[in-house]
Structure 1
């Protein structure tokens, strides 16, 4: 058993709640832009003073509509300014936010709103309103539903005209640090989602210590962050609240379809995202270079960036020759890549899945350091992260200051700290199991080095045991294979089988480019190319790279390219893009059997 901790850098208030943040910002930084809203295609700054006024206006409407202290209020929307506004308004009314993924089905909406006992709900689009309406007769506690695109903010402002500021101030001060701030329903790879109760204390401990440990990245009046993660996910909530605590300017966009355009317009100094975002940036840049006939130059630049980053970890640092090559490629390649990322940023924080060492070294080598972290819904997002000044690529960093990470005798990662969740809503059995002996049992397998840096090597429940008795952690090799531009998703199989295999889906965007470059018929798809010899040779390269990270017994011997994608709509991915392994295994049972057919 091994454990590591760091002293807290932020003192969690003995009392108080998250509404204190917006009131403090308005008092101490009234004219500082704490958030920006997109209007008419342009960004408009909102000062701390104005944001507080808009929060209170919406809170008055909620109070007038009958929302009571402690009530749960559903919030179903894409990432946008109004979500953040309503989040703080719900807390200012003394209530609890219950986020709902905007992609949720009516059945999922019904479960979350009924299990939480929501008395009101705010949705964004017609489709969201229809999803709630389809199950409303099964939600007797639900009294009010407002729609953002149908004027919800204006309606709440009108409803609250007769509610006084004193009333809002009184409601805002009712919740204490240990009261629930939000109930985040885990996306659930199996079974029904559990409602994870996160308190105001959880967010104070989480965001306060992150801001203090990464203070150079959170300089008031200088720094900014662009939020494009779903706010129904706990990582999105972290990205929303931490900038408010700093405070630095926060911008919100609904998706990553036009992310490069949004980055160029907003020009954030800090990006918080998931590995797929950084993989896309790299793969898109490489594909464009190849299309322009500059693929060889890009590959040399990438190799130089990786070598330069690795040399920074050595006592002697980069050699003179490497520094000269790096300087040349900085003008030719790296500067353009940094411009794609907004042109002002030097750091990003990545979470939600492993980033991969090669990608970590590549980005640090081009002058844009991606700090990898690790966390769960139950740990209020990050429970470990790499510090800006002492990064160890390949690890998920050191514990959140003020918390403890312990590795149990069986390798499971255990957590302790004020940032942890309070309970699973209406589920005392699951709560007792997860919080045994005062430690949260993550279900993840990991190791701690002598400096307290954590590596996650797999999921306890996802360990594959081959027929030969070899234990295989799928995540290690899956992440390496998935880093290939042609690969969208990869799932390792082999439980009880004679060897390890893999199911692979293709990235549709890069498949089209690859097909054109290799003379395949126009309009070629994964279904038409899955048995193509050249395509399978390209995927074999990705598999070979993955195999290099594991022992021979753990390596993928055979793979099968699938004709379709793993998506949230198909039911194979959770809203946070985690594989639903049992569903994939069931739906693609024939493909798995084909891997092991003699």
Structure 2
């Protein structure tokens, strides 16, 4: 991070009037950015600081100010449910919480903000949190990043400034970032991929980071977006680079395929955060969209591999970047070393190196990485949200109206479920049970379409083990046509 901050300072001297940050309300030159960082350092202070805001110039300024003074930043993902935010705050126990939503946050915390500040043209509120004996952090922790997790309660991944800086440098070199670049953030800045790959890479190169609120770009919640506003943002900000999850790429491809002009400013359209169907990438290439697929994980401070400009390898998630080393276990699991996290918050264990990613794949002779699946059952939706099906299934079966439930959604825009109801359950009670489960889940984990089955999953039909565990692959194969129908449907339910 010191290198990124140093580069920002250099740009403020050599190119003071060049726009560094832009959102729908504000534009800051590099000279103004350094001034705003100085003011934020003085106004906010240090310690452990949670940042709960939509994308904006203010978000970026506060994040950089925390890095500058060696504070620990705790970004709060906007797609977290209230319960998950409560867990995050109880887990990380920050000293301060900075937000531009003082009323709902104050109601949740049961207190009023200690002070209000104007940062980068936006009014933000600072809440002081009563923290008793905060959990010890691994030495060198600069940022605690939380993802949607593979369980209901995500873990805090502790990252050093050095690890973050190495990723930003490797990405900048891989994509050939220049001062002419305009990077548009269409993912939350609280996600590590966007924070580093969108914001830091652009600023280190002396370009412009466009960080409009996601609401202004058509996003509604974490897994819904208005296509026309999303595409309009791509044209309006004229980015040279942006990062998309597969579902957003699908929206763009559909728009261009039906006659909308492609954003001709783009030279780098990175796709990651979830598996992307090969046919979608091929269709994007046919439409001359410069798609570059990559791969990474929070435990390695984000990006591990990327298809670089001029050296695309179809079917791969790119060439392994030089700041990390990748090897394969005997069972094909991808192991990563060289730029790992410091540890999980609240655990004393030092992460093993190499780190077992849980992903399966292989390397070709040129160092390109290919993914073949997940070692376990957790999956990422097309919006890049991690879901553990067992978590959702436990909510579905909690009431007793549903005896068995199996959830799918790998790489899909929504989750679907196959349900075996209790024999006495009526259709109305079954629908109510699903609704109750959905109400207890964050929106990215909810069931959008489901089907009630007449036959249970049993050892006799090969769809369950004697222990009662589900044989997911067998269920998916047996019900493949039904699952395709559910994936293609709008939110609905039926009985087989």
Alignment TM-score, normalising by the size of structure 1: 0.59
Rate the CA distance shift 1:386–1:345 in 2: closer, same or farther, 3 A: same
1:77 lines up with 2:53 in the alignment:
yes
- What's the CA shift for 1:117? 2.3
8 Å contact from structure 1 (residues 106, 131) kept in 2 = no
Post-superposition CA distance 1:353-409 (Å, at most 9, x none): 122222222222332220000111112221111111110121101111221111110
Q: Which residue of the partner structure matches residue 169 of structure 2?
A: 208
Q: 1:58 aligns with which of 40, 52, 67?
A: 40
| Cα distance in 2, alignment partners of residues 273 and 20 from structure 1 | 28
Post-superposition CA distance 1:202-249 (Å, at most 9, x none): 11110101111211xx221x2211112112211121211111111211
| Cα distance in 2, alignment partners of residues 566 and 414 from structure 1 | 38
Rate the CA distance shift 1:58–1:463 in 2: closer, same or farther, 3 A: closer
Q: Unpaired runs of 5+ in structure 1?
A: 1-12, 157-177, 290-332, 465-473, 483-487, 495-525, 532-549, 568-587
| Cα distance in 2, alignment partners of residues 38 and 103 from structure 1 | 21
Q: Which residue of the partner structure matches residue 18 of structure 2?
A: 32
8 Å contact from structure 1 (residues 122, 147) kept in 2 = no
Q: Secondary structure of 2:23's partner? A: strand
| Cα distance in 2, alignment partners of residues 442 and 60 from structure 1 | 40
Q: Which residue of the partner structure matches residue 131 of structure 1?
A: 105
| Cα distance in 1, alignment partners of residues 51 and 475 from structure 2 | 48
Rate the CA distance shift 1:559–1:114 in 2: closer, same or farther, 3 A: same
1:97 lines up with 2:68 in the alignment:
no
8 Å contact from structure 1 (residues 351, 373) kept in 2 = yes
Q: 2:28 aligns with which of 46, 54, 65?
A: 46
- What's the CA shift for 1:492? 8.5
| Cα distance in 2, alignment partners of residues 492 and 109 from structure 1 | 26
Q: Which residue of the partner structure matches residue 402 of structure 1?
A: 323
1:370 lines up with 2:291 in the alignment:
yes
| Cα distance in 1, alignment partners of residues 125 and 272 from structure 2 | 37
Q: Secondary structure of 1:188's partner? A: coil
Q: 2:203 aligns with which of 239, 244, 247?
A: 244
Rate the CA distance shift 1:450–1:49 in 2: closer, same or farther, 3 A: same
8 Å contact from structure 1 (residues 125, 149) kept in 2 = no
Q: Which residue of the partner structure matches residue 20 of structure 1?
A: 6
Note the aligned Cα RMSD (angstroms).
3.8
Rate the CA distance shift 1:18–1:144 in 2: closer, same or farther, 3 A: farther
| Cα distance in 2, alignment partners of residues 463 and 87 from structure 1 | 30
| Cα distance in 1, alignment partners of residues 288 and 272 from structure 2 | 19
Post-superposition CA distance 1:274-305 (Å, at most 9, x none): 1111101222444xx4xxxxxxxxxxxxxxxx
| Cα distance in 2, alignment partners of residues 187 and 405 from structure 1 | 25
Alignment TM-score, normalising by the size of structure 2: 0.70
Equivalence map 1:486-525=2 (5 Å) = 488-489=413-414
Q: Which residue of the partner structure matches residue 300 of structure 1?
A: none
Rate the CA distance shift 1:212–1:285 in 2: closer, same or farther, 3 A: closer
Q: Which residue of the partner structure matches residue 482 of structure 2?
A: 559
Q: 1:231 aligns with which of 189, 192, 197?
A: 189
| The structure with more radius of gyration | 1
| Cα distance in 2, alignment partners of residues 29 and 565 from structure 1 | 52
Number of matched pairs? 396
